[in-house]
Amino acid sequence: MIAIQNLLNYLAVGVLRLFAFLPYSWVVFTGDKIGLLIAHIPSERNRVVKTNLHLCFPKLSSIEINALAERHWRLFSRSILERSKIWLGSPKQIWEMVEIDSEIDLNDQKPRILVNPHFVGIEGGMALCALAEKNNWHRGVTLYQKMKNPFFNRKIIEWRSRFGGRSIPRQGHLSDTIREIKSGNFVFIAPDIDLGIKDSAFVPFFGVPTNTITAISRLARLSGAEVCIMKTTLKADQSKYICHIGKPLPNFPTQDAVADTAKLNTYFEDEIRLRPAEYYWVHKRFKNRPLGSAKIYS
């Protein structure tokens, strides 16, 4: 079994290396067609996508939900293949894929947290890291959730550190993270996934009480950091991505971590409504439920 898993791991890396050096238009076309196929194959993850969409957009009909789910899978599959270029390609390849649009001075080295909601183009932080190396800015630091596959856990950490970046496990490294923030490094955190009920609160997300980590508010208070939303989304012509970094959030953080976390979710909702197919609906966002509430994905 271990030998088979190792073979599959290396085959997957081989496929990524292949797509990393194929013309970008081929990668986009292939990812789109694979996603179209996946959208029409019954699976647990397909059910998760449609369940999430029904919960967040209850006014949409089943036909509209199915169309939105198909569009999501096509963009999601495309983005997976595109990450081959992000993880393994040259800085030039990355800059050709992702454009940086910032409302802040990226060279001022202020203590700052870049909050990165889970759109399919979430790896925009890698583009910022590549530019940081080119412009002699401070390094990028990503808080990450350990993967179940140890082989790819190591590989992705290795790939994300190619331009001097660093990956820090989410759990148990608070002082390390605060040190990085205070040093003026680009600290990327994606808080919109269900990481369990520890250090989390149930706050509204599209009207649904949703288990959400309160780390952004707490880290910002402890480090004295500004908090900016960083989103990586497709340009209007879908030719490439644009990584937009907004101005610091006003009146954030406060002394109320739960209220701050709820406020972040409202910012995310506003962005998701503009481009619903690009959000990461494959994640079981509503896995943990308030005490006494029915399970959503059972």
Query: How many residues appear in the chain?
Result: 298
What order do you get walking across the sheet with 140-144 strand by strand?
A: 98-102, 241-245, 226-234, 112-115, 186-189, 140-144, 166-169
In b/e form, how buried is each residue of 87-98, taking b as 16+ CB within 10 angstroms? bbbebebbbebb
- If you average pLDDT over each of 84-93, 117-126, 229-238, which comes out highest? 229-238
264-294 confidence digits (pLDDT tens): 999 999 999 999 999 999 999 999 999 999 9
Overall average pLDDT of the 97-125 stretch: 90
DSSP state of 294: P
Residue 270 vs residue 18, higher pLDDT: 270
Overall average pLDDT of the 228-238 stretch: 93
Tell me the domain boundaries of the chain.
90-278
Least confident stretch, 106-110, 144-148, 155-159, 287-291: 144-148
**Listed residue (124, 103, 101, 121) closest to 112, CA to CA:** 103
pLDDT band at 154 (very low <50, low <70, confident <90, very high): confident
pTM value? 0.91
